[in-house]
Structure formats: structure tokens, C-alpha cells
Amino acid sequence: MVKIRDWKRSHRGHNGIKSVNGALQANPAGKWARVSVGIGRPDARDKGAVSDFVLSKVSRSARSVLEGNGSRGVFDALTELETKWAR
């Protein structure tokens, strides 16, 4: 799943996003957005299980889905941003 997320939204525990968001706030007039590509979540919600899931090697079936659908989703998201920002 590909989503556009505004920079003002939560970093959802991602320290890299938190850091970039802090740096971008120096230019509040700038047009920034985040394009998120979802990779799913494990059944367990504890921090260790989520970290292990996110940092593990991508399965063959998940890689196939990303390769088949991911680029189209990212393209559509970028096209949506271009349209929104051209107004």
C-alpha cells in the first residue's frame, strides 16, 4: 500500500522521519510530503516483534508484490502531489 502523508503527521516511531521532520520545519513555507510504502505488520505488536519484522529480509512473495504494484503506487502518489501542488 502506498500513501501520501503530510510531514505534520506523526512520525509513528520512526527516528529517521522524526529527524528529517525536525530539519524541514526550518522552512515552513516549503512543500513537503512523505510517500509511504507499506510492508505490513506482524501479528504481535510488541516493539521487538515489529523491529524484527521490519528489519528482516523481504520474503519472495512480498518482493513480488512490491515489484509488481509498488512502482505504480509510488507513481500515482507523486502524480497526485504534482496535481495538488500545481494549484
- Single-letter code of the amino acid located at 76: D
Share of the chain above pLDDT 90, in %: 9
Q: What is the pLDDT of residue 19?
A: 85
Q: Are 34 and 17 in contact (CB under 8 A)?
A: yes
For residue 77, how many other CB atoms are within 10 A of its CB? Answer: 19
Grid cell, residue 24, equals 524541514
> For the chain, what is the domain count?
1
Whether residue 24 is predicted with pLDDT greater than 70 in this model: the reply is: yes
- Choose the weakest-confidence range: 17-21, 22-26, 59-63, 69-73: 22-26
Confidence of residue 79 (pLDDT cuts 50, 70, 90): very high
Domain that holds residue 17: 2-86
Q: Are 15 and 63 in contact (CB under 8 A)?
A: no
Q: Are 58 and 25 in contact (CB under 8 A)?
A: no
